Amino acid sequence: MSQAVLPRGRPRRGAQVALTILALVIAVGAYILVGLGRRGNVPVTLALYGSIFAVGYAAAALVIRRFAPAADPVLFPTAAVLTGLGFAMIFRLSGGLAAEQATWVAVGITAFCLTLVLVRDHRQLDAYTYTIGLIGIVLLLLPIVPGIGRTINGARLWVRIGPIGFQPSEIGKVLIVVFLASYLNQKRELLRVATGGIGPLRLPPAKHLMPVLLAWGASLAVLFIQRDLGASLLYFGIFVVMLWVATGRIAYLLIGLLLFAAGAAIGYAIFDHVQLRVDVWLRALDPDKVFDLGYGQLAQAQFGMATGGLVGVGLGRGSPGLIPFASTDFIFAAIGEELGLLGTVGVLLLYVVLVGKGLRAALACPDGFGRLLATGLSAAVALQTFVIVGGVTRVIPLTGVTLPFVSYGGSSLVSNFVLLALLVRISAGPAPTRPRRGG
């Protein structure tokens, strides 16, 4: 493919509007179907939630049109469908959680719009490499601070200050990708230089290997101190991928894999909960184990998806309440039960589209920073989806991360909308300096 087939800067308003309306119809439609499936009538909250989605999506479309008219017309609508499906599923599981999630959808879209308005050009961010990096690291490690950190479900991921609780690592994730894009873009040439080698591997000098080792150490710290397997895997994966893309050195990828394997082995050797995760993964359906708590939870997710079969039992008509953590870690299984294989593959294809469009934005971006940033953000979405869906479906051991845009959770939703805004910004290029007229 050549640059010629990756047009950039040409406004595609029609597609953007049509797809956003389609996303709104799917989102509100799924939510109405949940009401019909559960109680046989349209949900009484239709006016409230329907208008949140209608106003929110319309606002986002207007902001895109005003501040990023050349944006990829598929990016926002794809995330909007995922958000809507996730909301319908959360509404199906719990009216209370749905009220919170609706609030977070509103906050998330506001954050999306603010990001597009404030970040007129993604290169603005390149100026604050270390500030952003520092904030990112602080956010990541904030839950460790005594007094404000909270341990929920065995992992120390939460911060609670007064009445507001949030998962700082979610927003930290975005900042760290921004930092890495900026840092790696600056050091790209240095890191490319290969002086020595082990066998066929050509390695850069030891001092340039430091960042890899540092990231590895940070990931292990997240794993050891916060006991957050999923985030640890995710950060390290994002880092290695970005390092490889920045330098083109396959050696980083291989070293990264080796270090990851070593980290995993160490984690397995010294942590009971890591050993348990692996055993649960392998033996979730083992007749001797399936009645035990952890095993049974993963087994229930399998049962739910199996119940859904090809076409699902219908929105609002299954029993996803039997699946533990159905609104967060296991929401994919709940979707599998009610929407079947058609639903789960549909959701996965939406991520393929989202990630594909993100990478396409990366390829079309003329500057190295933007290109690395779009790549890192896209990879973050893809890896996070793989980690949680792979965990739920037993491809890999289950580690608790959210399913982007779909899972219940404010921090996750808001940070993913910020991430999406950055991708939209990169796909659109700098905002027009004058307000556009007409349309």
Partner 1 sequence: MERQVRQLAVALLVLFVVLIAQVSYVQVFAAERLAENPANAKRQLIAEYEVARGSILAADRRTVLAASRRSAGDLRFLRRYTAGPLYAHLTGYYSFVFGRSELEQAYNDFLAGTAPQLLPQTFADMVLGRPRRGASIVTTIDPVVQRAAQVALGDLPGGVVAIDPRTGNVLALVANPSFDPNPLSSHDPEEIRTTWEALNADPEKPLVSRASDELYPPGSTFKIVVAAAALENGYGPDSTWPNPSELDLPDTVETLENFGGATCSGGSQITLADALRQSCNVVFGEIGLTLGPAALAEQAWAFGFAPTAMTGDVDFDIPFQEGIFPDPTYFVTRRPAVALSAIGQDNVAANPMQMGLVAAAIANGGVLMRPRLVTEVRGADGRVIETYEPEAYSRPMSPENAALLAAMMVDVVQNGTGAAAQIPGVSVAGKTGTAQHGEGQAPHAWFVSFAPAENPQVAVAVIVLDGGSLGSDATGGQVAAPIAKAVMEAALNG
Exactly one of 172, 304, 397, 409 binds partner 1 (CB under 8 A); that residue is 304
Structure tokens at 307: 């119940």
373/358 Cα distance (integer angstroms): 10
Exactly one of 27, 141, 264, 305 binds partner 1 (CB under 8 A); that residue is 305
Does residue 356 bind partner 1 (CB under 8 A)? yes
Nearer to partner 1, 209 or 285 (CB): 285
Strand ordering across the sheet containing 155-161? 149-152, 155-161, 164-166
Nearer to partner 1, 11 or 346 (CB): 346
Q: Helix or strand or coil: residue 406? A: coil
Strands 155-161, 164-166: pairing is antiparallel
**Nearby residues of 111 by Cβ (< 8 Å), 6 or more positions away:** 414, 417, 418, 421
33/24 Cα distance (integer angstroms): 14
Exactly one of 32, 299, 373, 413 binds partner 1 (CB under 8 A); that residue is 299
Query: 168-192 and 410-428 helices cross at what angle (nearest 10)?
Result: 40
Exactly one of 50, 314, 430, 432 binds partner 1 (CB under 8 A); that residue is 314
The nearest distance, CB 299 to partner 1, in angstroms, is: 5
Structure tokens at 304: 């739910």
Nearest to 27 by CA among 91, 75, 71, 73: 91
Does residue 97 bind partner 1 (CB under 8 A)? no
Structure tokens at 345: 């593959």
The nearest distance, CB 109 to partner 1, in angstroms, is: 26
Does residue 294 bind partner 1 (CB under 8 A)? no
Does residue 401 bind partner 1 (CB under 8 A)? no
Nearer to partner 1, 15 or 395 (CB): 395
Does residue 282 bind partner 1 (CB under 8 A)? no
How many residues bind partner 1, per CB under 8 A? 53
The nearest distance, CB 45 to partner 1, in angstroms, is: 21
Exactly one of 202, 319, 324, 432 binds partner 1 (CB under 8 A); that residue is 319
241/122 Cα distance (integer angstroms): 21
53/389 Cα distance (integer angstroms): 26
Does residue 36 bind partner 1 (CB under 8 A)? no
List residues near partner 1 by CB under 8 A.
1, 241, 244-246, 248, 285, 287, 290-291, 296, 299-300, 302-310, 314, 319, 322, 336, 340-341, 344-345, 348, 351-352, 355-356, 359, 362-363, 368, 371-372, 375, 378-379, 382-383, 385-386, 389-390, 393-395
